[in-house]
Amino acid sequence: MNPKLIYPRKGNNATESVYLQSVVKDPNIIVGDFTIYNDFEKDPRDFECNNVLYHYPLCNKERLVIGKYCSIACGAKFLFTGGNHSLKSLSTYPFPVFPDEWELDEWNVARAWDNHGDIIIGNDVWIGYQAIIMQGVTIGDGAIIGTRAVVTKDVAPYSIVGGIPAKEIRKRFDDLTLKKLQDRRWWEWPAEKVKKNIEKILNGDIDNLAE
């Protein structure tokens, strides 16, 4: 159990999955322990440039924050403010992006779009194949994002969402189990304690999950 590894698997297709924490270099992309990204189309080590799009933190002051034990499927995308266009303008054309052409102040390029802020992904979140997460969205712990969903609004903890735009399909567990999971917060345990409780986690044994 070493979250600092690059490739957590062995054998066939071992290089398709990486621990994101070990390959992301941008300080404005923060990834928790054991979060994995799988890519069978491109090199998963290039997550930062292939999957985090229009991310210009120097002018937009925005971050991508991903919690621990998340699973991110091939082709999932995180779209930031730089891919937006301002709705306050009378035109959708991004004039400030071309300051020399239009004799505008170069420092104010961010006027071209509306800034909706950070993308925050909780712990133990599963993001499905080619899902898109839009700027300003917060996804709660334990949520599941369906294949090719487009997430434009916050997602509640332990809910399953899908579609375009993504809508809640159902909760993963009953209210009592949800409360126990949120009280236990097992992802904050030391890795050795998680290891000792893996069978209980896999079997859905919330009542005997160590506190």
Q: Determine whether 55 is an active site residue.
A: no
pTM, two decimals, is 0.91
How many domains does one find in the chain?
Answer: 2
Question: Shortest CA distance to 131 belongs to which of 154, 152, 147?
Answer: 147
Say which CATH number the domain at 48 has.
Answer: 2.160.10.10
pLDDT in tens, the chain (211 residues): 676 789 998 888 889 999 999 999 999 999 999 999 999 999 999 999 999 998 887 777 899 999 999 999 999 999 998 788 888 888 888 888 888 888 887 777 777 778 888 999 999 999 999 999 999 999 999 999 999 999 999 999 999 999 999 999 999 999 999 999 999 999 999 999 999 999 999 999 999 887 5
Residues 90 and 118 in one domain: yes
User: 123 and 207 share a domain?
Assistant: no
For residues 148 and 181, membership in a common domain is answered with no
The domain containing residue 69 runs over which residues? Answer: 14-172
Query: CA distances (Å), 202 to each of 70, 175, 206, in order?
Result: 15, 19, 10
Are residue 26 and residue 55 in the same domain, yes or no?
yes
Domain shared by 153 and 199, yes or no: no
Q: What's the token pair of residue 135?
A: 């700027």
**Which residues are 52's β-sheet partners?**
78
Q: Are strands 138-139 and 119-121 parallel, antiparallel or unpaired?
A: parallel
Spot the catalytic one: 5, 40, 85, 179.
85
